[in-house]
Every structure is written in C-alpha cells, then in structure tokens.
Structure 1
Amino acid sequence: MDVSPRIRQGQRDGDVGQDVDSRAQALLLQNTPAGLRVMAKTCDRPTLHRITDTALAGL
C-alpha cells in the first residue's frame, strides 16, 4: 500500500510540510510498525512512544 498520495494530499491541505519527501516519508511510515513489533519484545513503552513520535515528527 503506497501512502505517499495521502501525504501529498496532506501537503495540499497544509497539514504536512511542503519540504517533506512524500515517498521517503511513506516508506518510513510503512516500515516503522514492523520495527516497533520487533522492538516491543525488548523495549519499554516510553521508548516505543519516542520512536513513534520521532517517526511522525517528520511530517
């Protein structure tokens, strides 16, 4: 599933910065959940929240 069209829509709507690379951000957002599933086995909740916050901060 390619979410880059959604990110571009967010850019048109003003919710996502124009300087965001929509394709790169889409790849990051698509891969972050897989990494979080792995990290959830060894990390605490605050660490997982920091990872999620960092991934979303790129928008």
Structure 2
Amino acid sequence: MANILVVDDEADLRQLVKTALERDGHRVAVLASGGEVDENRCAWADCILLDVMMP
C-alpha cells in the first residue's frame, strides 16, 4: 500500500484516479493545482501523479 498524491485541474479525472487507486488499497490525496503542493504533502507521498499540462 502506498501514499499517492494526485495533482490535476480536472475534477472528473482526479476522482477517477482516486477511486481506482483506493480500490487497489492505496491511500490517495488529491489537489486541484500545483500551487497547493507543499513540502508536507510531498514528504507524505510515496508517489506523485502530476498533470504537467496544467495552466
């Protein structure tokens, strides 16, 4: 089980990824923009899924 941080500006995609990963037993946190990412969240996460095409 991993701690995964999902950062994407599309709410539907965030929810889809979160649901799929949680179904596999992972703990998932979601953020709507890169500006919300901070050092504490990065330290918590084992993996960060980041949409690099966000405005």
TM-score, normalised by the number of residues in structure 2: 0.33
Q: Which has the higher contact order (CA 8 A, sep 6+)?
A: 2
More strand by share: 2
Which of the pair has more CA radius of gyration? 1
TM-score, normalised by the number of residues in structure 1: 0.32
More helix by share: 1
